[in-house]
Amino acid sequence: MANLDAPMGFRPVANLAAAPYNGGSVRCQIASGDGTATFIGDFVKIAGSASADGYPTVIQAAATDMLYGVVVSFDADPTNLENQYRLASTERYCQVVPATGNQLFIGQSAGTPGVAGVGTLGDIVVGTGDTAYGTSAMELSGTTGTGTAQLRLVSIVNSDDNDPTLANPQVIVQVAEPELGQSKLSVGV
């Protein structure tokens, strides 16, 4: 049976010390000057400024950008409480899980990395997020290899409905190019 092709961005799951994700995040702002809609599960990068109240300003990351973290929630939009994502060109505060070298994230691969792909590197692919549910469409590029890239494929999720030999498996990744400092990556993690 084929893997479900339903990218939902990335979400924190654990760290390399085998500890579960504990819910920690950093409040950030996405300024109204940013014309890109942003979704839960999107990787973001630092925009180089801060809000008037001192929170770091972030924007959606693109392939090859260094990564600050993943958006895990947005503050409520008082003008539209049903709005689950950040509309383009509007100010919105969000919670971001920083992409430290030890944090692991779960997401979907756009290709078929197979078990031989574990330990290889790949960039993110940015898709059009779901405006009804507010979820990202980012996923790991189907092209993985060595050299430099944003993410390292740490493992393929072991479940009955996730076949590593087929396209679009769920994978566990580590940020290989974090904005918060150099990642302490082990070869063949």
Q: 21-68 pLDDT, tens per residue?
A: 888 899 999 999 999 999 999 999 999 899 999 999 999 999 999 999
Position 187 scores a pLDDT of: 38
> Does residue 112 fall inside a structural domain?
yes
Distance CA 28, CA 92 (A): 9
Quick check: is 87 in a domain? yes
Q: How confident is the model at residue 182 (pLDDT cuts 50, 70, 90)?
A: low
Q: What pairing do the DSSP bridges indicate for beta strands 139-140 and 124-125?
A: antiparallel
Give domain status of residue 71, yes or no.
yes
- Report if residue 142 sits inside a domain: yes
180 within some domain: no
**Closest alpha carbon to 37 in 75, 84, 97, 102:** 84
Does some domain include residue 185?
Answer: no
For residue 143, which of 43, 47, 63, 28 has the smallest C-alpha distance?
63
Residue 29 in domain: yes
Dihedral pair phi/psi, residue 116, rounded to 5°: -70, -20
Q: Distance between CA atoms of 188 and 174, rounded to whole angstroms?
A: 12
Q: What is the chain's mean pLDDT, rounded?
A: 90
170 in any annotated domain: yes
pLDDT for 83 beyond 70: yes
State the total domains in the chain: 1
Mapping DSSP to helix (H, G, I), strand (E, B) and coil, where does residue 175 land?
A: strand
Residue range of the domain that includes 113: 11-16+24-175
Residue carrying the six token digits 């993410």: 151
* 120-132 pLDDT tens trace: 999 999 999 999 9
Euclidean distance between CA atoms 98 and 87, whole angstroms:
22
> What pLDDT does residue 18 have?
78
User: Among residues 9, 1, 2, which one has the least CA distance to residue 108?
Assistant: 9
In this prediction, residue 155 carries a pLDDT of 94
**What is the predicted pLDDT for the residue at 1?**
76
Q: 3-state DSSP call for residue 22?
A: coil
